[in-house]
Amino acid sequence: MLRAFQDNRNIVLADEMGLGKTVQSIALLDHLIKICKIRGPFLIIAPLSTIDHWKYVAETWTYMNVVIYHDRNGAEGRNEIQKQDWYFTDVTNKGTVTQKSRLIKFNLMITSYEIFNQDLESVLKEVPF
């Protein structure tokens, strides 16, 4: 996976369940952060049923700041995630997010394919994945 990244090639990990694809992927992102000094943000699009597992593995194996971008409350819940978890706030402006403070807070965002497609044009295209 690292060689493919260095060669600027896409890859697909496809084999049976339980062989470590999640851990391998998280380990690659951790390597990019620690060794290559690439802070992210990174994006993982996973089936809804596995999102919590991805977060658990990332937080267990690394020190990444992980955000799940999915909410059962719909768009209003995702707006709250954006306000709370996306950008560092500028304390000089009483906690508001300004153009100067648009530093991304998280290293890894995990979302589902449906939410990604739903919010790509309105929100996610602004994040420099």
The pLDDT mean for the chain works out to: 83
Encode pLDDT of 81-114 as tens digits.
Answer: 777 777 766 656 665 555 555 678 889 999 999 9
CATH number of the domain encompassing residue 83: 3.40.50.10810
Encode pLDDT of 27-37 as tens digits.
Answer: 999 999 999 99
Specify the pTM. 0.81
> Amino acid identity, residue 34?
K
Q: How confident is the model at residue 80 (pLDDT cuts 50, 70, 90)?
A: confident
Average pLDDT over residues 14-27: 83
Which residues span the domain enclosing 41? 2-126
Q: What angle do CA 111, 44, 66 make, to 5 degrees?
A: 75
Please tell me the total count of domains within the chain. 1
